[in-house]
Amino acid sequence: MLMKTVIKLSIKTLTALCCCISFQQCFAAEDMQHDEYDFLTEQDLLSDIPMVTSVTGLKQSTAETPASITVIDRQMIRTSGAVELADVFRLVPGIQVYHVNGNRFGVSMHGQTNEFPQRLEVRIDGRSVYLPMLSTIVWTSLGLDLDSIERIEVVRGSNVPAQGANAFLGSINIVTRHPLQDHGTRASYQTGSEDAHNFSLQHNTSVGGADFRLNASHQENNGFENLKDGLDGDHISLRGSFSPDIANEFDIQLGYSHSIIGIGDGDDPAGFSEAKFESSYQYIDWKHTFTNGNKLGVHFYHNQTRMDDRTSLGLLSAQLAGLNPADFGAPPGFVVTPAAIGQVEQELIIGTTDNRTDRFEFGIDHSSHPSHNTRLFWGSTLRYDRLKSDWLLDGRSPVNNQQIRLFGNLEWHLSSNLVMNAGLMVEHDDLVNTNVSSRLALNYHLQAGQTLRFSATRAHRSPSLLEAERSEILRFVDGSSADIQFITNPNLAEEDLDALELGYVGMWPELGLETDIKLFHEIVNNGIDKAKTRALPGDLVPPALINDNISNWRTHGMETQINYRPDSVTRITTNYSYAVAKGQRVRASNDISTLKTRVPRHTFSLLASRMFSTGVEGSIAHYRMSPVKFLGGAELPWQSRTDLRVGFPLSDARVDGEVSMVVQNVFAEDYLEYQNSNLFERRLFVQLKLNLR
């Protein structure tokens, strides 16, 4: 049934697309001779202005996008001294990064999150890596080598009208290097604190007119001290690109990852266990450029993740010994034993060895110039998610969700100084039927290099497959219920967002200075969170948690970023965010809590680097965040961290490379991340990179 639906919709979409292309080609020929001049705007007059595609699908300057965006390039990644990919996002205003465990990371926009941040879309070369099984991103299972990244585009605001429900509060778009950009073989080895040993190997080659890059890597460390939250992971990936002619390009990517990660509650060090993740993906993308400059893209990908998180709680008698007899309706002093509740002695197990999630997506997009002063990007995607888990679904059959998206963004140059962007996303799925999200933005160029932006967005986020279907019930060996730990409200609805943004983009190329200032106001209603109940039959140990729409909040504030490049060897980047939140979540009639402390009021980052005449590169990064209490986490005080990096070049006739040293938290101002046991102390890493010619 699904395949028939996909085939019918694909035929209809392709038919409509071909009609649209034919119609546009009828009048595009005349426009072509004028395009070179009609689209000459301020980004053509200023040098070294970042061009991005993540906000609308169109290639735009950062001064003409309908949302604020931060671009992190290769130099910033390298000089930051980041060992983990998640650490890179500390350089983005408005984003919070924290260790849930030693090798599990939370990356969120404007707080209001827990150990599984779920309102931020993450894509690698256009492929979504959001995991329906956990409603989040498992950063350590991505298998992404930092040296393979060309740049990262972070949309600092809702991008649902362009990228769908997961981009509720923002999106991260990682662009890897094209196989043509590197040559030969590169090897890297890094060792340091937490008994870390990281090895990566990259080989680039050309075969029969196609270009290939092969990556293999291994990571291991012991995680935080006194916690069993280490990592042992292996990754391999292949990317191939082939252009049979000037009009067509094919991109194929394959990857496999296997990781063992220690997970648990930092406040309960004895309760840690190992979770095994096995991930793979297959991705193919075809791009065709028509003679009139219009472009057609078609892609298909499949992501699969298997997880083993089986954990023993110990014997039933030991668990009953620590319970309150009143929970069973017994008088004080009553001894609760297995026999007293009609059970035999047994081992209690949570989790399973057979959790699996699959995501299939087929998409078509098209960009064109309908007239001399407009550009249009539109398309459609068909997505199928499937989740199988005895534990997460209480033994039910696998569940699935089918989703159809239609999206479009129109860029209209109303005058030489005024640009309008209008975006629309229509999403239909099996969980909440149809949602329509929209965005309207006006960018006014005060003068060359000086732009004001006003943007208004209304967006919706459908529940993930896990959020809509979750049912975790601890059962005795006879199948009866022992403890209802987690269920979902069958009437769970989508989250709603209304957002306003007023921004300023300033560029002074002659000074090497760029700045971006943003004022924002966000209103989120029907936020999905964990409610509590004590009235469920069969729940011997209340309360039970229920996924429900119980949170509402407002956040307003300011974000600013400044990039300063006084010369070709010096670079300084500063970021600051100020956010004030108000709201509440109603977990029960007697459990209503404020949400104003769930986002840090102040976050700041600084990255300064310089290349010296000897070829030695030095950099310093500083991060500071005000007190915050993430959902499910500890109350964290002010925290500061300063990292230093020094890189020494290596070169001879056969190889070149670098030896670098990174000291994180150099001043040993130890601080906590998310949980009380996650103490981040001074860390030292040494890395050797060799490029074989």
Which class for 270: exposed (0-12), middle (13-18), buried (19 or more C-beta within 10 A)? exposed
pLDDT tens readout for residues 137-176:
889 888 888 999 999 999 999 999 999 999 999 999 999 9
pLDDT tens readout for residues 283-305:
999 999 999 999 999 999 999 99
Query: How confident is the model over 64-71, as a mean pLDDT?
Result: 96
Provide DSSP, 529-560.
Answer: EEEEES--TT-SSPPEEEEEEEEEEEEEEEEE
Query: Would the pLDDT of 26 be above 50?
Result: no
* Terminal alpha carbon distance of the chain: 53
Angle of CA points 579, 580, 584, to nearest 5°: 130
Q: What mean pLDDT, rounded, does the chain reach?
A: 89
pLDDT level of residue 672 (50, 70, 90 thresholds): very high
pLDDT tens readout for residues 441-463:
999 999 999 999 999 999 999 99
Query: How confident is the model over 232-256, as a mean pLDDT?
Result: 96
Neighbours of 675 (CB within 10 A): 25
pLDDT tens readout for residues 474-495:
999 888 888 899 999 999 999 9
pLDDT tens readout for residues 102-116:
999 999 999 888 888
Query: Would the pLDDT of 1 be above 50?
Result: no
The reported pLDDT for the residue numbered 44 is 43
Query: How confident is the model over 228-241, as a mean pLDDT?
Result: 96
Query: Would the pLDDT of 410 be above 50?
Result: yes
Query: Would the pLDDT of 376 be above 80?
Result: yes
pLDDT level of residue 49 (50, 70, 90 thresholds): low
Query: Would the pLDDT of 21 be above 70?
Result: no
Higher pLDDT, 85 or 332: 85
> What residues contact 403, with CB distance under 8 A and at least 6 apart?
381, 382, 383, 384, 385, 427, 428, 429, 430, 462
Report the C-alpha gap between 152 and 52 in whole angstroms. 10
Token pair belonging to 667? 């001043």
Buried b (16+ CB within 10 A) or exposed e, 558-580: bbbbbbbbeeeeebbbbbbbbbe
Higher pLDDT, 199 or 334: 199
The amino acid that residue 4 corresponds to is K
The reported pLDDT for the residue numbered 131 is 87
pLDDT level of residue 5 (50, 70, 90 thresholds): very low
- DSSP-assigned letter for residue 58: S
* CA dist 405 → 71, 161, 169, 429 (Å): 27, 10, 19, 9
The answer to whether the beta carbons of residues 517 and 560 sit under 8 Å apart is: yes
The answer to whether the beta carbons of residues 178 and 209 sit under 8 Å apart is: no
Say whether 349 sits in a helix, a strand or coil: strand
- DSSP-assigned letter for residue 118: -
Neighbours of 615 (CB within 10 A): 12
The reported pLDDT for the residue numbered 37 is 33
pLDDT level of residue 342 (50, 70, 90 thresholds): confident
Query: How confident is the model over 263-279, as a mean pLDDT?
Result: 86
pLDDT level of residue 187 (50, 70, 90 thresholds): very high
pLDDT level of residue 271 (50, 70, 90 thresholds): confident
Report the C-alpha gap between 8 and 354 in whole angstroms. 34
Residue 390 CA from chain centroid, whole number: 27
The reported pLDDT for the residue numbered 45 is 40
pLDDT level of residue 330 (50, 70, 90 thresholds): low
Neighbours of 86 (CB within 10 A): 21
The answer to whether the beta carbons of residues 472 and 482 sit under 8 Å apart is: no
The answer to whether the beta carbons of residues 640 and 669 sit under 8 Å apart is: yes
Instruction: Report which listed range, 30-44, 530-544, 559-573, is most confident.
Output: 559-573
The reported pLDDT for the residue numbered 521 is 98
Query: How confident is the model over 184-207, as a mean pLDDT?
Result: 95
* CA dist 648 → 301, 302, 651, 658, 687 (Å): 40, 41, 10, 5, 10
Rg value, the chain, Cα: 26
The answer to whether the beta carbons of residues 658 and 616 sit under 8 Å apart is: no
From 446, 321, 336, 467, select the one nearest 393 (Cα to Cα).
467
pLDDT tens readout for residues 526-550:
999 999 998 888 888 888 999 999 9
